[in-house]
Amino acid sequence: MLLTNDNLKWDLSFIYKGFNDRKIDKDIEEAEQMVMNIANFRGKLQSGEISAEDLNDLFQNCEKVYALIGIPRSYGFLLFAQDTTNEHFQALRGKLDQKFVEISNLLIWVDLEINKMSDEVLEKYLNDPNLENYHHYMKVVRLNKPYVLTEEVEQVIQEKNLVGRDA
C-alpha cells in the first residue's frame, strides 16, 4: 500500500470533533476554575494544618486538572504531528502548550510546599492511610528537594521550555 497524506491521518474524533471544537476551550476553562479552587489550600500544606482527607482531595483535583489540560494538549500535538504545515494545527498546539505552562505554574506551589514540610509533617501524611495512593508522589517530590529553586525561578524554567530545547 502506498502511503499518502490521505491515509496517514488518525481518527481523533473520539477526543474532539475538530481543531475548533468548543469543548477544547471548555476543558481548559474548567481546569482554570479548578486551579482557582485548589489555591484555597495554599500555605496550609507545608504547615500540616490541612487534613489528610483534604490533602487527598487536593491531589485528586490536581490530577483532574492535569487530565483536563493534558487531553487537549495531546490532541493538539497529534493534529500537529499529522500535518506540521497546517496553520490551524500549529496555532492550536501553541495555544495549548501555553495554557499547560500557565496552569502548571499556578500549581507549582504544591510541590514546593511538600518540600517545605518538616520531616514530622511529611511523616504524619505518609503514615495516614487516606494518602496511601500519594506516598510515592510525596517521596519523589522530596527526593528532588535539593534541586528545587524558588517558585518564580521554577515558573520561568517552565516558560522557557515553550521556546527552548524542549519546545
Q: What is the pLDDT of residues 151-166, one digit of tens each?
A: 898 888 888 877 655 5
In-domain check, residue 68? yes
Calpha distance 70→84 (Å, rounded):
20
Containing domain of residue 111, as a range? 22-160
Tell me the per-residue pLDDT of 47-91, one tens digit each, with 9 for 90 and over: 999 999 999 999 999 999 999 999 999 999 999 999 999 999 999
In-domain check, residue 49? yes
The pLDDT, as a whole number, for residue 102 is 95
Tell me the per-residue pLDDT of 127-160, one tens digit each, with 9 for 90 and over: 999 999 999 999 999 999 999 889 898 888 888 8
In-domain check, residue 136? yes
In-domain check, residue 14? no
In-domain check, residue 16? no
In single-letter form, the type of residue at position 49 comes to: E
Calpha distance 49→83 (Å, rounded):
50
Number of domains in the chain: 1
